[in-house]
């Protein structure tokens, strides 16, 4: 059975555009606390992390964490203010492999909103 997958979509709402180039990593957290990286890459021109994990590759039931590198993104795009946020983690649990776990993030240099979308 193919898993539903995990997708990440990022929008820099302060600039009104997708966060193309922002680094993202998705880890599975093992019961003993060890981390297994199942996806790593950068947000593409559509605003999404284009990786096979979005189609279910490497996804297993259990705890996962997405790490979004907002500080490095703001420094690379020439934000006038020094970044307040650096690496933003989002820890969640995959219960049903048939479901898709879509994680949209909207952010500025000083805050963010991240949730499970449709």
User: What CATH number corresponds to the domain at position 11?
Assistant: 2.60.40.180
pLDDT of 78: 82
The answer to whether residue 1 is domain-embedded is: no
pLDDT of 68: 97
Structural domain count, the chain: 1
- CA dist., res. 19 & res. 42, Å (int): 9
- CA dist., res. 14 & res. 84, Å (int): 14
The answer to whether residue 27 is domain-embedded is: yes
Closest by CA position to 100, among listed 82, 118, 112: 118
- CA dist., res. 103 & res. 39, Å (int): 14
pLDDT of 81: 72
Strand partners, 92: 64
pLDDT of 86: 94
The answer to whether residue 81 is domain-embedded is: yes
Q: Which helix (H) or strand (E) holds 74?
A: helix 70-76
Prediction pTM value: 0.92
Q: Which domain holds residue 93?
A: 6-114
| Higher per-residue confidence, 1 vs 89 | 89
pLDDT bucket at 3, cuts 50 / 70 / 90: low
pLDDT digits (tens, 9 = 90+) for 55-101: 999 999 999 999 999 999 999 988 777 789 999 999 999 999 999 99
pLDDT bucket at 1, cuts 50 / 70 / 90: very low
């Amino acid at each position: 059975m193919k898993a539903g997958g995990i997708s990440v979509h990022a929008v820099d709402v302060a600039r009104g555009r997708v966060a193309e180039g922002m680094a993202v990593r998705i880890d599975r957290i093992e019961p003993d606390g060890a981390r297994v990286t199942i996806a790593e890459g950068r947000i593409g021109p559509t605003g999404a992390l284009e990786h096979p994990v979005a189609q279910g590759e490497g996804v297993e039931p259990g705890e996962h964490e997405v790490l979004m590198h907002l500080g490095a993104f703001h420094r690379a795009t020439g934000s006038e203010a020094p970044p307040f946020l650096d690496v933003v983690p989002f820890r969640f649990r995959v219960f049903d492999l048939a479901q898709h776990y879509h994680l949209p993030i909207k952010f500025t240099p000083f805050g963010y909103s991240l949730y499970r979308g449709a």
